[in-house]
A and B are shown apart, each in its own frame.
Chain A
């Protein structure tokens, strides 16, 4: 069964600190993995997209890694800011018979305290 699991479910850190969010998936055949940031009351915003051949991609203070062999990804946030408080969602796409089916993790709720 194709699944995407994220951990931790929630996380509280102090402003200025770094943190790492995890995403494990069983989706096969794999097409790409995406990280989205969703602020409360808003739609998700794309942070990164990685295909099979990419193992690191950065977007400002956000760095995503992908290990396609172990089917794991992480999102590292450097020097956190209050505006980083949001839900971070991992999304994996397959490349099966129904091309481009998307599978969503339930997200990690990050809270940054001053």
Chain B
């Protein structure tokens, strides 16, 4: 079974631009959640999608948004990029809701650098 696939692997953008990241979950998984990882803050929850609906949202500004398609694939969008948005963005999929007892399966992330 293929794992969670995130594209692109690396991305360099300039301040003010927007970016879209993509995540393909493990086949059969209906929950996709997104996380930001930085050396200073560690892993922080962005949001979770289940059956195409956002079910949970972390404490991030509205510049961070996402969506999930009918095939469970998900995209995350960040608009008006700031230098502080430079981070590793991780996507995870699970059979059930991410906070319940199903293990999360993470992708290897997209490394975003904002200059």
A residues contacting B by CB (< 8 A) are 31-32, 34, 36, 41-46, 49, 51, 89, 91, 93-95, 98-102, 104-107
With known contacts A31-B99, A43-B107, A93-B100, A104–B44 Cβ distance under 8 A: yes
14 more CB-based (< 8 A) A-B contacts, given A36-B106, A99-B100: A31-B99, A42-B109, A43-B108, A45-B106, A91-B43, A99-B55, A99-B56, A99-B97, A101-B45, A101-B56, A101-B99, A102-B98, A104-B42, A105-B42
Instruction: Return 19 A-B CB contacts under 8 Å, by A number.
Output: A31-B99, A31-B101, A32-B100, A32-B101, A36-B106, A42-B109, A44-B43, A46-B105, A91-B43, A93-B99, A94-B99, A98-B56, A99-B56, A99-B99, A100-B100, A104-B42, A104-B43, A104-B45, A107-B42
| Across-interface contacts of B106 in A (CB, < 8 A) | 36, 43-45
B residues contacting A by CB (< 8 A) are 4, 33, 35, 41-45, 48, 55-56, 90, 92, 97-101, 103-109
Q: Which among A34, A51, A105 is the interface contact of B103 at CB below 8 angstroms?
A: A34
| Across-interface contacts of A44 in B (CB, < 8 A) | 43, 90, 104, 106
| Across-interface contacts of A46 in B (CB, < 8 A) | 103-105
| Across-interface contacts of A91 in B (CB, < 8 A) | 43
Nearest CB of B to A94, in Å: 7
- In the bound complex, what is the Cα–Cα distance between A101 and B59 (angstroms)? 12
Nearest CB of A to B79, in Å: 24
- State whether A100 touches B108 (Cβ < 8 A): no
Kindly report which residue of chain A lies nearest to residue B107, judged by CB atoms: A43
With known contacts A43-B109, A49-B103, A100–B90 Cβ distance under 8 A: no
- In the bound complex, what is the Cα–Cα distance between A32 and B94 (angstroms)? 15
With known contacts A43-B106, A89-B43, A101-B45, A51–B4 Cβ distance under 8 A: no
- In the bound complex, what is the Cα–Cα distance between A41 and B4 (angstroms)? 15
| Across-interface contacts of B56 in A (CB, < 8 A) | 98-101
